Structure 1
C-alpha cells in the first residue's frame, strides 16, 4: 500500500466515529414547537390583569388652524312683514239726558254729543253722539234705552232706528225697534197714552275707524200710517256705544 493511501485510510477511520456520535445526538433531540416564539422556555399560565393607570396629563395645545374662507353668497330671501296686534283695550261711551220729552214723529230724535259717562245735559239738544272708533275690523254695539210712546186714531206704526254717519247699518241689517198700535180713539189726546221704557239695541259691522256720528231717528213702518210718537218722556234716556273685537 502506498504511503498516501495509508494516510487517507487513517483519516477515514478517525472521522467515522465522530459522525456516528453527532447523528445520535441529533436523533435524541426533539424541538419544542413554541421554541421559536418563547425561546427555549415553555410558557406558563396567564397572570392577573393589572389595574388601569392614572390618566395622563394634558398635552401641549396645538397651534391655531388656518382661518377658513368666506362661503358663497346666498340667495335673496323673501320679505315677510310680521303684524303684532296690540292688546285690546275697552272703548265705550255713554250719552245720557233727563226728561227729554221729545215729540218728533219723523226725523232725528236727540243724541247728546258732548256728554260723558257721568254727565247729563239739561235739556237735551238734538245732535249726534260722536264716538271715536279705533279699528276698522271691529264691530259697534249700540243701545238706546228710554221711554217710548205711540198713539193714533186708527192703526199706526212707528220705527226707532240708529244711523251711523247719517246712514243706517247695512252690516248685516239695520238696528231698529217698532211700536204698532191698532186701537182707535176719537182723537189724538185720548186716554190711551202709555209711555214705556223700551230699548233699541244691536251690532253693526263694517263701520270704518275714526269719528262716527251715532244718532237715533224715528220714522214710519212700511205700508202703515204714522201716529203721534214721543221719546224720553219724564225719565232718563241714554245711548251706550261700545267697540267690540271680531
Structure 2
C-alpha cells in the first residue's frame, strides 16, 4: 500500500513544483510587460507633439445681471466764488474823423471864438482827439499872455482837463523895442472824455491868462489853419 502511494506523491510534488515555477514565470513576465508599458507611456508623455490648429474665438457671452447701486457719495468742499464775465458783442470799430480848414483867417480878435467845426460823434463811451494847427502871434509893450483853447458845445473839456496852449511875452522895459511882431505856426491838441454821442460843436477860442494883462493877439495870418477831430475807442 505504501509502495503504491509513493509514485503518486512524487508525481504531485513534481506537478506542484512545475505549477509554482510557471506562476512565478508568469508574474515575472507580467511585471516586465508592466514596466515596459510604463516606460513607453512615460516616454510618450515626455515627447511634445506638433501644435494643433488655433481654434476660432467663441461667441460673445451674454451680459451679466446688473450690480447693486453703490452708496451715494458725500458732497465735496465748497469752491471759491467765481468772477462774473459779461461778453459784449459790438460792431467792429470804424474810423470816424473830420477836418475843417480855412485859408488866411487873419483873425485879430483878442477875446472870443475864432472858428468852429461840427462833428458827429458815434458813441458815448469814446474819446475825442482834437487838433488846431495855424499861425499864432502875440505882441505888447509890457508883459502879456494870451490863451488858445477848445470848447465842446460851448464848454471847455472836463475829462480830464481843458485843452489849451498859451503864449507869454515880456518886453522887459519901455525903452526896448515894443514892435516885435512874430507869427509862428503853432498847435493846440488833446483828448477829451465824457462827451455824449451826437452832434458836437468843436470851437477854437482865444482868451486871457489868469493874473496877466491881455496883449494884441492874431490867429491864422497869411496861412492855412485847420481843426482835425477824431473819435477814438477807450
Residue equivalent to 2:96: 91
Is structure 2 residue 214 aligned with structure 1 residue 241? Answer: no
Structure 1 residues 174 and 31: CA distance shift in structure 2, 3 A: farther
Is structure 2 residue 25 aligned with structure 1 residue 21? Answer: yes
8 A contact 1:130–1:214 mirrored in 2? yes
| CA deviation after TM superposition for structure 1 residue 159, in Å | 0.2
Distance in 2, Cα, partners of 1:23 & 1:219: 149
Distance in 2, Cα, partners of 1:156 & 1:32: 140
* Larger helix fraction of residues: 2
Is structure 2 residue 182 aligned with structure 1 residue 194? Answer: yes
Is structure 2 residue 111 aligned with structure 1 residue 106? Answer: yes
Residue equivalent to 2:129: 141
- Greater relative contact order, per chain length (Cα 8 Å cut-off, separation 6+): 2
Question: Which stretch of structure 1 is more off in the superposition, 81-90 or 206-215?
Answer: 81-90
| CA deviation after TM superposition for structure 1 residue 216, in Å | 0.8
Q: Aligned to 1:110, what secondary structure does the other structure show?
A: strand
Q: Aligned to 2:99, what secondary structure does the other structure show?
A: strand
| CA deviation after TM superposition for structure 1 residue 134, in Å | 2.5
| CA deviation after TM superposition for structure 1 residue 45, in Å | 6.3
Partner deviation per Cα, 1:53-86 (whole Å, 9 max, x = no partner):
8xx9xxx9xxxxxxxxxxxxxxxxxx97532454
Q: Aligned to 2:25, what secondary structure does the other structure show?
A: helix
Q: Aligned to 2:150, what secondary structure does the other structure show?
A: strand
Question: Which stretch of structure 1 is more off in the superposition, 215-224 or 130-139?
Answer: 130-139
Residue equivalent to 1:114: none
Q: If the length of structure 1 is used for normalisation, what is the TM-score? A: 0.63
Equivalences for residues 69-88 of structure 1 within 5 A? 81-88=86-93
Counterpart selection for 2:118 from 109, 123, 130: 130
Residue equivalent to 2:76: none
Distance in 2, Cα, partners of 1:104 & 1:24: 154
Structure 1 residues 25 and 202: CA distance shift in structure 2, 3 A: same
8 A contact 1:162–1:216 mirrored in 2? yes
Aligned length: 197
Q: Aligned to 2:185, what secondary structure does the other structure show?
A: strand
Distance in 1, Cα, partners of 2:122 & 2:207: 31
Q: Aligned to 2:115, what secondary structure does the other structure show?
A: coil
Residue equivalent to 1:170: 158
Q: If the length of structure 2 is used for normalisation, what is the TM-score? A: 0.66
Structure 1 residues 195 and 34: CA distance shift in structure 2, 3 A: farther
Task: Name structure 2 gaps, 5 residues minimum.
Answer: 1-7, 60-83
Q: Aligned to 1:21, what secondary structure does the other structure show?
A: helix
- RMSD of aligned residue pairs (Cα, Å): 4.0
Distance in 2, Cα, partners of 1:243 & 1:34: 109
8 A contact 2:139–2:179 mirrored in 1? no
